[in-house]
Structure 1
Amino acid sequence: RKIKEPRQIAPSLISICTHNSSPMETPHTKKRRVKRKWQVFPGRNKFYCDGRIMMAKQTGVFYLTVVLILVTSGLFFAFDCPFLASNLSPAIPAIGGVLFLFVMGMLLRASFSDPGVLPRATPDEAADVERQIANGAGGPGYRPPPRTREVVINGQTVKLKYCFTCKIFRPPRASHCSLCDNCVERFDHHCPWVGNCVGKRNYRFFYLFILSLSFLTIFIFAFVITHVILSDRGSGGLWMLSWKQCSAFLHWCTVLEVVVCFFSVWSIVGLSGFHTYLISSNQTTNEDIKGAWSSKRGKDNYNPYSSGSILTNCCTALCGPLPPSLIDRRGFVEPDSAQPMAQSNGTNTCPLTQLQSHMVKSVE
Structure 2
Amino acid sequence: MSAVMITRKVRKWEKLPGKNTFCCDGRVMMARQKGVFYLTLFLIVGTCSLFFAFECPYLALHLSPAIPVFAVLLFLFVIAMLLRTSFSDPGVLPRALPEEATFIEMEIEAANGNVPAGQRPPPRIRNVQINNQIVKLKYCYTCKIFRPPRASHCSICDNCVDRFDHHCPWVGNCVGKRNYRYFYLFTMSLSLLTIYIFTFDIVHVVMRSVDKGFLNTLKETPGTVLEVLVCFFTLWSVVGLTGFHTYLISLNQTTNEDIKGSWSGKNRVQNPYSHKNIIKNCCEVLCGPTYPSVLDRRGLMEEDSSISATPVAPSSSSSTTSSSNPVPQTTKTTAPLIPNEHTPDDAKPSIAASAEKSPSPKEEHPPAKVPPLASPETDVETSITKDKTH
TM-score normalised by L of structure 1: 0.80
Percent identity at matched positions?
63
SS in structure 1 at match of 2:187? helix
CA RMSD of aligned residues (A): 2.5
Note the 1:287-306 alignment, pairs <5 A.
287-294=257-264, 296-299=265-268, 301-306=269-274
1:46 to 21, 25, 49: 21
* 1:122 shift after superposition: 1.0
1:96 aligns with 2:71: yes
Note the 1:247-286 alignment, pairs <5 A.
247-249=218-220, 251-286=221-256
Q: Distance in 2 between matches of 1:42 and 1:55?
A: 13
Q: Distance in 2 between matches of 1:142 and 1:336?
A: 43
Bigger Rg, structure 1 or 2: 2
Q: Work out whether residues 137 and 143 of structure 1, in 8 Å CA contact, stay in contact via their aligned partners in 2.
A: no
| Runs (5+) with no aligned partner, structure 1 | 1-15, 24-28, 339-354
* Counterpart residue identity of residue 273, structure 1: G
Counterpart in the other structure of 2:386: none
Q: Work out whether residues 89 and 293 of structure 2, in 8 Å CA contact, stay in contact via their aligned partners in 1.
A: yes
Aligned CA distance change for structure 1 residues 357 and 67 (closer, same or farther; 3 Å): same
Q: Work out whether residues 218 and 225 of structure 2, in 8 Å CA contact, stay in contact via their aligned partners in 1.
A: no
Note the 1:113-128 alignment, pairs <5 A.
113-128=88-103
Note the 1:53-72 alignment, pairs <5 A.
53-72=28-47
| Runs (5+) with no aligned partner, structure 2 | 307-327, 334-390
After TM superposition, the runs of 4+ consecutive aligned structure 1 residues lying more than 6 A away are: 139-143
1:357 aligns with 2:330: yes
Note the 1:65-80 alignment, pairs <5 A.
65-80=40-55
Q: Work out whether residues 208 and 217 of structure 2, in 8 Å CA contact, stay in contact via their aligned partners in 1.
A: no
Aligned CA distance change for structure 1 residues 34 and 137 (closer, same or farther; 3 Å): farther
SS in structure 2 at match of 1:119? coil
SS in structure 2 at match of 1:326? coil
Q: Distance in 1 between matches of 2:298 and 2:132?
A: 39
Aligned CA distance change for structure 1 residues 67 and 328 (closer, same or farther; 3 Å): same
* 1:356 shift after superposition: 3.6
TM-score normalised by L of structure 2: 0.75
Q: Work out whether residues 75 and 253 of structure 1, in 8 Å CA contact, stay in contact via their aligned partners in 2.
A: yes
Query: 1:297-346, CA deviations, whole angstroms, 9 ceiling, x for partnerless residues?
Result: 225x11110111111111111111111100111111123499xxxxxxxx
Q: Distance in 2 between matches of 1:166 and 1:359?
A: 51
Counterpart in the other structure of 1:225: 202
Counterpart in the other structure of 1:326: 294
Aligned CA distance change for structure 1 residues 126 and 85 (closer, same or farther; 3 Å): same
Q: Distance in 2 between matches of 1:160 and 1:335?
A: 34
* Counterpart residue identity of residue 312, structure 1: K
Counterpart in the other structure of 1:350: none
* 1:179 shift after superposition: 0.4
Aligned CA distance change for structure 1 residues 83 and 336 (closer, same or farther; 3 Å): same
* Counterpart residue identity of residue 233, structure 2: F
* Counterpart residue identity of residue 59, structure 1: K
Q: Distance in 2 between matches of 1:211 and 1:91?
A: 21
* Counterpart residue identity of residue 317, structure 1: V
Q: Distance in 1 between matches of 2:287 and 2:29?
A: 23
SS in structure 2 at match of 1:234? helix
SS in structure 1 at match of 2:330? helix
SS in structure 2 at match of 1:272? helix
* Counterpart residue identity of residue 321, structure 1: P
SS in structure 2 at match of 1:210? helix
